[in-house]
């Protein structure tokens, strides 16, 4: 059994959050140390904090209390019941906390589960936004810093925590590779906080999501595909709900077909969501298990709870509470996701968050054990920051599993490094930008809509991009252009393709003379090579040919190979795999097989040319997509692989959409890079929640044309 030590020895009143590095910047001044940057759709704008409102009265803005500390993103909270294991952390403080919270946080570059005890100067029943916070005790419940760099428990996603009364922390982790392509790594684990003993509760070969522990702690319910596995769903998952013993994962039984996000009222009653097969609305349902006799899908009674006419999902309950549940909703007259209470006696909704913050998305409610409070997370926004405080990150450090590699999430898309590694180009819809790795000298070098960037390694300051509509047909005009980013007069833009078709994803040869790109000029997207300075008018070489899509090419540093993504194994299916080919058209071979209907895209060579970084759904899906904001494909993670097909490594773990990676020649010190961006919370709710079953469309507050996903554009 893997042990992830909690920190029972931390009894001090203040937890000091220190970002520790296994190596210093000076240690990394070697030719082997490098950096990878990548995009996560919308993630840089999340700024999640957890808030709470009283459940008893219609709230006002002054009733909303922020619970978490605005450090990184904090989400998927849980109000724990009184527990001796938690009280042991507070032995130096004789007072009972006003609020206690367990939640997921992504601070310090990795996902972890934290516990906060909050002490206010006013009584709990009179808490408000203006109540002075006297003391916050904070500590991580999983000691990831003590693990070695080779220990995958450090680099993994943690999600949906619950603490039992006897001190067992139940949660999702993605630290174990099932060893099969396009298979989720998500599994449920139990860590006994007093002893640090950790046990896997999910059977090997199966993935579980969204665990919920019954009030007694005896049972855990999960959403799971069972042995069937994930088949590529990205909306409301058609998982089933299984129940097993919390103590060891045994006596696992499927109790509900087609359901997700379970939550318990008592040991025989739970709620869940599903999309109705009759009217297509997403609704909350109630399941009652028999108290005597066998439990199965046939013996469980299911009743629809929330009515059609709106989407209601991610339900929350509290022990013994038969009066109301909390749900997230999307109503036809609203552009935003809100938290509402549903009265189980009167069968009617009662609004909560719209009365407090009407133009903000609110996610994943949870209820206190005494049913007095409802918690949720949302973007904290600009108003939460001091005037002199800048918390927006241009580059967010993500903990790397490799000691000689730093890893960053960039607030942009399609990044690329200059040959010296001293500048980064990226797109930000609209426009192409250039910035130094330390965040200085950021400037826009092209104002129009563009995607993909590449530097000329010989001609300093020349950046290539494709300008025009994204995700367009073969016949839509998209052009390759070169940009002289050092031209102070902004006249250094040159159009290199002239045929009026879809030309995109340029990559430059190491001698700076040629550009490989994909073009739809024959009715299919294939690869071509043209002159890097004069474009196709100076000559054009066709590299691949066939009734399929070859795209997203990248030229190796030694010039021997061009890597690209292709659906040639199943044209038009949307499934892409990675291939290698010599620039003269010989030596074609498949490098990465995506699995059935899988997607593997955006290859980028390492500076030594021995390894590729790419994005893929190899790791399947890690959580229920409905619990997050919009992602076109909420499963992309960043991987590396050697050119002989060996040594596949997963670098990122989350339930978001990671894509468009780039590998730079220099090591960037693993610290966050801030920049003066005033915009936060500019992310979208799931696009498919905008669609009503009758064919009408719900209001959508944001422009939906700024796709930055890792699939073919």
Count of CB atoms situated within 10 Å of the CB of 573: 11
What was the pLDDT predicted at 472? 82
d(CA 636, CA 300): 36
pLDDT of residue 512: 97
Q: Which residue has the tokens 């290698």?
A: 580
Supply the pLDDT for residue 397.
96
E-strand ranges in 556-618 read 562-566, 577-581, 589-592, 600-605, 611-616
Q: CA 99 to CA 327: how far, in whole Å?
A: 22
Who contacts 389 (Cβ-Cβ below 8 Å, separation ≥6)? none
Sorted by sequence, the CB contacts under 8 Å of residue 260 that are 6+ apart come out as 209, 210, 223, 236, 237, 239, 241, 272, 273, 274, 624, 626
Contacts of 684 (CB under 8 A, 6+ apart): 42, 629, 630, 700, 701, 702, 704
pLDDT at 7: 44
Mean pLDDT in consecutive groups of 10 residues from the start of the chain, 713 residues:
41 34 43 92 92 94 96 96 80 82 95 96 89 94 63 80 95 95 95 94 97 97 94 92 98 98 98 95 97 94 97 97 98 95 98 96 97 97 56 91 95 96 94 96 94 97 94 90 89 92 96 97 96 95 97 98 96 93 97 82 97 95 95 91 95 95 96 82 91 68 41 45
Backbone angles phi, psi at 86, to 5 degrees: -75, -40
The pLDDT, as a whole number, for residue 532 is 97
Give the CA diameter of the chain: 81
CB atoms < 10 A from the CB of 95, how many?
A: 10
Q: State residue 570's pLDDT score.
A: 92
**Beta strand 34-40 with 48-54: parallel, antiparallel or unpaired?**
unpaired
Sheet holding 514-519, edge to edge: 503-508, 514-519, 526-531, 535-542
Q: Give CA–CA dist 42/432, Å, rounded.
A: 18
Lookup: tokens for 278: 């009759």
Q: Please report the pLDDT score of residue 6 as a whole number.
A: 43
CA atoms within 13 A on the CB side of 590: 11
Please give the sequence-ordered ranges of beta strands (E in DSSP) within 468-534, or none if there are none: 479-484, 493-495, 503-508, 514-519, 526-531
Tokens representing 609 are 């040319």
pLDDT value at position 699?
Answer: 57
Per-residue tokens: 161: 């925590």
Q: Provide the pLDDT for residue 16.
A: 34
Cα of first residue to Cα of last residue in the chain, in angstroms, is 43
């Amino acid at each position: 059994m893997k042990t992830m030590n909690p920190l029972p020895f931390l009894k001090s009143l203040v937890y000091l959050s220190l970002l520790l590095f296994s190596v210093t910047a000076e240690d990394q001044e070697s030719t082997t140390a490098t950096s990878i940057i990548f995009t996560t759709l919308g993630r840089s704008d999340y700024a999640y904090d957890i808030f709470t409102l009283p459940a008893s009265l219609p709230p006002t803005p002054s009733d909303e209390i922020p619970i978490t500390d605005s450090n990184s993103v904090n989400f998927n909270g849980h109000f724990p019941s009184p527990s001796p294991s938690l009280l042991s952390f507070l032995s130096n403080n004789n007072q009972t906390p006003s609020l206690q919270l367990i939640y997921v946080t992504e601070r310090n570059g990795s996902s972890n589960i934290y516990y906060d005890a909050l002490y206010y100067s006013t009584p709990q029943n009179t808490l408000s936004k203006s109540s002075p916070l006297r003391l916050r005790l904070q500590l991580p419940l999983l000691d990831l810093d003590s693990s070695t760099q080779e220990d995958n428990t450090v680099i993994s996603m943690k999600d949906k925590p619950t603490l039992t009364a006897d001190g067992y922390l139940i949660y999702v982790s993605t630290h174990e590779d099932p060893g099969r392509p396009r298979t989720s790594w998500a599994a449920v684990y139990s860590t006994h906080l007093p002893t640090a003993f950790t046990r896997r509760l999910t059977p090997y070969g199966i993935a579980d999501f969204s665990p919920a522990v019954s009030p007694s702690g005896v049972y855990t319910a999960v959403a799971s595909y069972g042995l069937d596995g994930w088949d590529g769903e990205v909306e409301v998952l058609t998982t089933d709900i299984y129940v097993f013993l919390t103590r060891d994962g045994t006596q696992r039984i499927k109790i509900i077909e087609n359901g997700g996000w379970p939550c318990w009222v008592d040991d025989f009653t739970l709620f869940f969501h599903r999309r109705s097969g009759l009217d297509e609305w997403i609704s909350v349902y109630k399941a009652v298990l028999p108290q005597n006799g066998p439990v199965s899908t046939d013996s469980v009674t299911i009743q629809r709870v929330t009515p059609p006419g709106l989407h209601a999902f991610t339900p929350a309950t509290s022990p013994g509470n038969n009066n109301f549940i909390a749900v997230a909703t999307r109503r036809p007259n609203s552009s935003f996701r809100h938290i509402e209470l549903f009265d189980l006696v009167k069968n009617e909704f009662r609004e909560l968050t719209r009365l407090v913050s009407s133009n903000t998305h609110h996610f994943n409610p949870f209820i206190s054990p005494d049913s007095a409070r409802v918690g949720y997370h949302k973007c904290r926004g600009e108003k939460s920051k001091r005037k002199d405080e800048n918390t927006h990150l241009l580059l967010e450090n993500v903990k790397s599993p490799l000691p000689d590699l730093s890893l960053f999430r960039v607030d942009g898309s399609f990044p690329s490094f200059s040959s010296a590694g001293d500048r980064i180009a990226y797109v930000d819809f609209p426009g192409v930008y250039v910035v130094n790795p330390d965040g200085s000298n950021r400037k826009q070098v092209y104002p129009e809509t563009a995607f993909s960037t590449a530097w000329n390694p010989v001609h300093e300051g020349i950046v290539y991009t494709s300008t025009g509509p994204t995700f367009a047909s073969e016949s839509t005009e998209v052009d390759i252009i070169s940009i002289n980013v050092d031209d102070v007069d902004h006249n250094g833009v040159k159009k290199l393709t002239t045929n009026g078709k879809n030309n995109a994803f340029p990559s430059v040869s190491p001698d700076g003379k040629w550009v490989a790109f994909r073009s739809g000029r024959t009715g299919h997207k294939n690869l071509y090579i043209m002159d890097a300075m004069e474009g196709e008018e100076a000559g054009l070489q066709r590299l691949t040919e066939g009734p399929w899509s070859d795209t997203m090419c990248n030229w190796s540093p030694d010039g021997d190979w061009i890597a690209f993504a292709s659906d040639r194994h199943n044209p038009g299916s949307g499934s892409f795999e990675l291939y290698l080919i010599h620039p003269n058209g010989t030596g074609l071979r498949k490098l990465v097989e995506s699995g059935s209907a899988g997607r593997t895209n955006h290859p980028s060579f390492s500076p030594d040319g021995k390894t590729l970084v790419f994005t893929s759904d190899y790791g399947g899906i890690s959580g229920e997509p409905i619990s997050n904001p919009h992602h076109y494909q909420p499963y992309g993670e960043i991987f590396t692989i050697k050119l002989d097909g060996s040594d596949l490594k997963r670098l990122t773990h989350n339930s978001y959409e990671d894509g468009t990676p780039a590998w730079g020649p220099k090591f960037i010190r693993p610290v966050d890079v801030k920049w003066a961006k005033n915009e936060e919370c500019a992310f979208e709710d799931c696009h498919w929640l905008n669609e009503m079953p009758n064919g009408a469309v719900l209001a959508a507050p944001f422009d939906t044309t700024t796709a930055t996903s890792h699939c073919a554009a």
